[in-house]
Amino acid sequence: MILMVAEQSNGVLSKSAYELAQAARQLQGELPNFGEVTALVLGSGVAAAASAAALLADQVLVADMPALGQYDAEVWASAVAQIAGEGEAQVVLIAGSRSGREYSPRVAVKLDAPLLEDVIRLQCESFGEGAGVVLRAEHYTFLSRVTERIETQAPAVVVTVKPGSFVAAAAGTTPAEQLDVDLQLPQKRLKVTGSIQEKTGRIGLTEADVVVSGGRGVGTQEAFAELVEGLADQLGAPVGATRAVVDAGWRPYAEQVGQTGKTVQPKLYVAVGISGAVQHLSGMNKSQCIVALNKDADAPIFKITDYGIVGDVKEIVPALIAELRK
């Protein structure tokens, strides 16, 4: 059995579930009789998400319980490991979201399984009784500068999948069977006392074709709103920011691009007043076309730039907006 944990948010199936389904179908195709693809939906009030998942998998297991109303690493790991153990899953696919990457190591330890983290490619080499499954994968290392090929062999393997690395699977037309499951869940030990919404008013940073990001070079919060948001509006793009900008409180953390923020891979990435620290590049260096605007010709960002202008963003950006309006 290939188990995929279908993430949902507020009852809506996440994009990552479609990407996992694609990875699962591919694995299934590589080896006949690899078993069915089972989707697991965890949460409270998740009927709609479960129905959507039923169009992606061969079978859907639904744990709809009040205790699953809020994500918790220990609870999620326990739930997934129980299902994987009982169903003798050979592969457990988990989204490479922040939470997925947080609880997946616990699942691996519980199952005594190896963990392939944040994979961008996945291939099943062989599977035999006793020998377990041989999986090969690729993932990025050294702040996304190196692509590493890894292999593991075990009766069960836990895999997290980097968001955006697999195309979203198309939903089928005949819904698969849904089964309710009962789980023994542990007590939560990390008590959440408050939730700070650092959501951006702008959506779709990780999915957009064009991203306009600003750095400290933009100068002030007001200038950021005028220049970076102005250019983003002109290009119909969401806004990204560097850590320096988030730390300064100009922009919410949800917009941060980089090692400790989001990873984006748009067709066009525009970096406005960004120096190009390796931790920032790690979140955007796979973009198809990179444009940089910086007054310092030696700024590291220019090393990975396709088109750039050396100049003051206070002059360049308004000129660009005017030119794009033409």
Partner 1 sequence: MRIITLVRQVLDAEESVRVRGGAVDLEGSKLVMDTMDEYGVEEALRLREAASGETPVEVVALAVGPERAEESLRTALAMGADRGVHVVTNELLDAIALSAVVAQVARGEGADLIFCGGQQADWDSQALGAATAERLQWPQATWTSQLERKGSTLVGKHEVDEGSETFEVQWPAVVTTQQGLNEPRYPTLPNIMKSKKKEIRKQPLEAFGIAPRLKVLGSEIQVKERKRKILDGKDASAAAAQLVKMLREEAGVVA
Ligand X SMILES: Cc1cc2nc3c(=O)[nH]c(=O)nc-3n(C[C@H](O)[C@H](O)[C@H](O)COP(=O)(O)OP(=O)(O)OC[C@H]3O[C@@H](n4cnc5c(N)ncnc54)[C@H](O)[C@@H]3O)c2cc1C
Footprint on residues 305-324 left by partner 1 (CB under 8 A): 305-312, 315-316, 318-320, 322-324
Q: How far is the CB of 312 from partner 1 (least distance, A)?
A: 7
What is the C-alpha to C-alpha distance for residues 198 and 195, in angstroms, rounded to an integer? 9
What is the C-alpha to C-alpha distance for residues 286 and 271, in angstroms, rounded to an integer? 14
Q: Which is nearer to partner 1, 170 or 289 (CB)?
A: 289
Select the residue interacting with partner 1 from 152, 155, 207, 219 (CB under 8 A): 152
Q: Which is nearer to partner 1, 12 or 109 (CB)?
A: 109
Q: How far is the CB of 232 from partner 1 (least distance, A)?
A: 13
Half-sphere exposure of 83 (CA within 13 A, CB side): 31
What is the C-alpha to C-alpha distance for residues 275 and 294, in angstroms, rounded to an integer? 8
Q: How far is the CB of 177 from partner 1 (least distance, A)?
A: 30
Amino acid making up residue 241: A
Residues at the site binding ligand X, with contacts judged by CB under 6 A: 215-217, 242-245, 256-261, 273-275, 277, 279-280, 283, 294-296, 299, 312-314
H helix or E strand, kind and range, residue 232: helix 229-235
Label the pairing between strands 8-9 and 12-13: antiparallel
Q: Which is nearer to ligand X, 120 or 309 (CB)?
A: 309
Q: From residue 193, how far is each of 9, 69, 144, 186, 189 by CA, in Å?
A: 20, 15, 34, 19, 12
Q: Which does 154 bind (CB under 5 to 8 A by kind): partner 1, ligand X, none?
A: partner 1
Q: Which is nearer to ligand X, 132 or 300 (CB)?
A: 300
Question: Which residues are registered as beta bridge partners of 268?
Answer: 210, 289
Footprint on residues 4-63 left by partner 1 (CB under 8 A): none
Q: Which is nearer to ligand X, 87 or 258 (CB)?
A: 258
Q: How many residues does the chain have?
A: 326
The torsion of the CA quartet 51, 52, 53, 55, rounded to 10 degrees, works out to: 100
Select the residue interacting with partner 1 from 268, 272, 275, 276 (CB under 8 A): 268
Number of residues that bind partner 1 (CB under 8 A): 91
Q: How far is the CB of 231 from ligand X (least distance, A)?
A: 13
Is 261:247 a contact under the CB 8 Å cutoff?
no
Select the residue interacting with partner 1 from 147, 170, 221, 222 (CB under 8 A): 147
